[in-house]
Amino acid sequence: MTIVTKLQVPVYRNYIGGQWVDSSSKEQLESRNPATGEFISYAQKSTVQDVEAAIDSVYDAFQQSDWGYNPKRRYEALLGLAHKMEENLEHLARVLTMEQGKTIRESRMEIAGSIDTLKYFAGAARTVFGRSMQLEPNNFGIIVKEPIGVVGIISPWNWPALLMVRELAPALAAGNGVIVKPASLTPAISVEIFKLIAAVPEFAKGIVSIVTGPGRSIGAAMGKSKKIDMISFTGDTSTGKSIIELSTSNIKKLALELGGKSPNVVFADANLDKAVPLIGRSIFISAGQICMAGSRVLVHESIKDEVVSRLKAYAEHLNVGNGIHETSDMGPVISQSQLDLISEYCEIGRKEGTIITGGYRLTGEEFDKGFFFAPTIIDHLAANCRVVQEEIFGPVLAVQTFANDEEAIALANGTDFGLSAGVWTADLNRAMRMSKEIKAGTVWINTYNKNFPEAEFGGYKQSGLGRTRGVDGLMEYCETKHIHLELE
Question: Whole-angstrom Cα distance, residue 279 to residue 137?
Answer: 59
Chain Cα centroid distance, residue 310? 29
Start and end residues for every CATH 3.40.309.10 domain found in the chain = 263-452
Question: Whole-angstrom Cα distance, residue 392 to residue 381?
Answer: 15
pLDDT score at 8 = 78
Question: Whole-angstrom Cα distance, residue 119 to residue 442?
Answer: 23
pLDDT score at 7 = 52
Among 370, 373, 363, residue whose Cα is nearest residue 393: 373
Architecture of domain 2-258+463-483: 3-Layer(aba) Sandwich (3.40)
Predicted TM-score (pTM) of the model is 0.95
Rounded mean pLDDT, 331-341: 98
Tell me the fold of 263-452. Answer: Aldehyde Dehydrogenase; Chain A, domain 2 (3.40.309)
Rounded mean pLDDT, 391-414: 98
Start and end residues for every CATH 3.40.605.10 domain found in the chain = 2-258+463-483
State how far the alpha carbon of 169 is from the alpha carbons of 56, 174, 333, in Å. 21, 9, 28
Question: Whole-angstrom Cα distance, residue 255 to residue 134?
Answer: 33
pLDDT score at 372 = 98
Q: What percent of the chain has pLDDT over 70?
A: 99
Confidence of residue 6 (pLDDT cuts 50, 70, 90): very low
Tell me the residue type at 420: S
Longest dimension (CA), the chain: 84
Question: Whole-angstrom Cα distance, residue 245 to residue 274?
Answer: 44
Q: Which of 257, 391, 456, 476 is catalytic?
A: 257
30 is catalytic: no
Cβ contacts of 342 within 8 Å, gap of 6 or more: 333, 373, 392, 393, 394, 395, 396
Question: Whole-angstrom Cα distance, residue 266 to residue 307?
Answer: 9
- Give per-residue pLDDT as tens, 165-217: 999 999 999 999 999 999 999 999 999 999 999 999 999 999 999 999 998 89
Among 357, 398, 406, 394, residue whose Cα is nearest residue 381: 398
pLDDT score at 249 = 85
* Contact call for residues 374 and 320 (beta carbons, < 8 A): yes
Among 286, 289, 158, 153, residue whose Cα is nearest residue 212: 153
Rounded mean pLDDT, 477-484: 97
